[in-house]
Structure 1
Amino acid sequence: MNCPCNPSNLYDDCCKKAHQNIHSVTTAEILMRSRYSAFVLANIDYLQKSHHSATRPSKYEKKEILSWTKSVEWVKLNVLNSTKNTIEFKAYFKENGSLNVIHENSFFVKENNHWVYKNAL
């Protein structure tokens, strides 16, 4: 299977490593890409684990996210800009037959010795 974050890579050689061991993630961009793949694959446990404890969605929100991510068709990810702690990206998805985009500049930090998503800037 090709990796959702970058179809030129195999999932087994890319985001699967992060999904199996979050401590293997060495940069904010790798974490962001693995989170995109987790959305595509509806891997909500990884999304929770890779989210900062202060901004992590509640159990109710977790169920809503799972329902939503399964209801859309993920199309592609474009990374626009990357620094040590911020990643600007566009994530394209189809919902109800319409193409939509999430355009975000995300902020990442380390917590418990691994990278986590903190919030959107």
Structure 2
Amino acid sequence: MGSTEICPCGSGASLSSCCGPIIDDPRAAMTAEQLMRSRYTAHVLGRWNHLWVTWHPRTRPDLVEEDGLRWTGLEVLRVESGQEGDDAGVVEYRASFREGRRPGVLHEVARFRRRAGRWLYVDGDVLES
């Protein structure tokens, strides 16, 4: 990961100072929003292992594979709790993608929990955009 490459999560920061360190070590996510942004970035970069290890073991699939989508943008709409001292948090976001030539948007209200000091994605409700 280049030190000056802009992070795909839309923060405007460099990948090396934003989601890059969290993708390399998920324990670095201090908030639910940081973990959610790193999971989006993992989709963009094809870092499927990051998605698997940051998924709560109670709800994660046996295997996380390429989804065939080209992710093109992230917009965080709302964050509830999920800060450094919290045990749970909610992040509502819209993630734009292309499937072939067809554009689409994933609008999700995602739930996160802290387990053993680490933020994990639990599940979410997909909304119509």
> TM-score of the superposition, structure 1-length normalised?
0.89
Q: Deviations over 1:28-75 (max 9, x none)?
A: 00000000000111111110110000011113xx2xx32x2xx32211
Q: Does 1:28 align with 2:19?
A: no
Equivalent residue in structure 2 for 1:108, among 91, 112, 117: 112
Q: Counterpart in 1 of 2:21?
A: 17
Structure 2 letter corresponding to 1:109: R
Q: Deviations over 1:18-37 (max 9, x none)?
A: 01111111100000000000
Q: Counterpart in 2 of 1:99?
A: 103
TM-aligned CA deviation for residue 2 of structure 1 = 1.1
Question: What is the number of equivalent residue pairs in this alignment?
Answer: 114
TM-aligned CA deviation for residue 10 of structure 1 = 0.8
Q: Counterpart in 2 of 1:73?
A: 70
Structure 2 letter corresponding to 1:14: C
* Counterparts of 1:20 and 1:95, CA distance in 2: 27
1:42-81 correspondence runs (5 A): 42-59=46-63, 62=64, 65-66=65-66, 68=67, 71-81=68-78
* Counterparts of 2:26 and 2:71, CA distance in 1: 23
* Counterparts of 2:124 and 2:103, CA distance in 1: 22
Where does the alignment leave 5 or more consecutive residues of structure 2 unmatched? 82-88
Where does the alignment leave 5 or more consecutive residues of structure 1 unmatched? none
Q: Counterpart in 2 of 1:8?
A: 12
Q: Counterpart in 2 of 1:41?
A: 45
Query: Hey, which bits of structure 1, 4+ residues long, moved more than 2 A?
Result: none
Q: Counterpart in 2 of 1:88?
A: 92
Q: Give 1 or 2: higher helix fraction.
A: 1
* Counterparts of 2:50 and 2:37, CA distance in 1: 12
Q: Percent identity?
A: 32
> TM-score of the superposition, structure 2-length normalised?
0.84
